Amino acid sequence: MPTDLKSPVVRAFFDRPTGSLQYVFHDPASKRAAIVDPVWNYFPEAGAVSTESADEILAYVADEGLTVDWVLDTHPHADHFSAGPYLKEKLGAPHGIGEKVTGVQKLWQEMYHLPDLPTDARQWDRLFADGDEFMVGDIPVKVMFSPGHTLASITYVAGDAAFVHDTLMMPASGTSRADFPGGSAEDLWNSIRALLDLPAHTRLYVGHDYPAAGAAPQYMATVAEHRMTNKHVKDGISKPEFIATRAARDATLKLPDRMLEALQVNIRGGRLPDPEADGRSYLKKPIGRFEPR
């Protein structure tokens, strides 16, 4: 296979209110593509949803003449709703996530007291296991199980690009938190070291950035750059040092503003609860489950 066919074209899209990065990657030869971690916009002050982020992706796909083979989630996000079902409907592409999502569903089903919620991940079309492989055009994609931020997180390694979700931040920011239910700093360390064993030139695309108002987000650094400069996990930092640093940092972080809304949507695969008798959907919050930070 020619080497240049193993390097996908990657386009990033940024949702500034949540700091979320979304991606479209495609094979330049065949124009086959996949979408990673699309955002369904949610406005908590109004209880309203909209599709401008997903529609921006749809416009790009149309303008570039791409055929989308997959809509992919890396994990159930705690800060934004997944636009996977919306894009699946618009594009006819299957919606996938890691197979360990069932554990996240069961965890949060109990927290939200949703005894009737199916927790077998039937809300997605494909559940990926560690080591699974598929093709997007001539771009080989391999799935890596990358727990730590959540117990279900996966990475998609597409040729020389890897979509590492909320495992790594940009080198100057370090890594993502591991204090959500089901998270683990030790697991996060192990996942990151596996990512940093990828070839040095591999492009790592992160899930979040929080630039100053008006500034553009930063979202890609190579394995080599992370190993040299990532402030939490660069070469020379030990596992115990990382775990201590991560725990200290996590203790200072408040919970994401949209977490209690986002997770009850995302454990449904990016769908609102079924409408009630008045035709509207309602979200609920478990009062007293979490302490204020």
Query: pLDDT by residue (tens digit) across 89-108?
Result: 999 999 999 999 999 999 99
What's residue 292's pLDDT? 83
Average pLDDT of the residues in 73-97: 97
Dump the DSSP string for 252-293: TPPPPTTHHHHHHHHTTTS-PPPP-TTS-------TTSS---
User: What are the tens digits of pLDDT across the range 160-197?
Assistant: 999 999 999 999 999 999 999 999 999 999 999 999 99
Average pLDDT of the residues in 79-94: 98
What's residue 293's pLDDT? 77
User: What are the tens digits of pLDDT across the range 117-170?
Assistant: 999 999 999 999 999 999 999 999 999 999 999 999 999 999 999 999 999 999
Residue 32 in contact with residue 137, Cβ under 8 Å? yes
Kindly report the CATH class assigned to 6-266: alpha beta
What's residue 5's pLDDT? 47
pLDDT at 251 over 90: yes
Task: Give residue limits of the domains in the chain.
Answer: 6-266
What's residue 3's pLDDT? 41
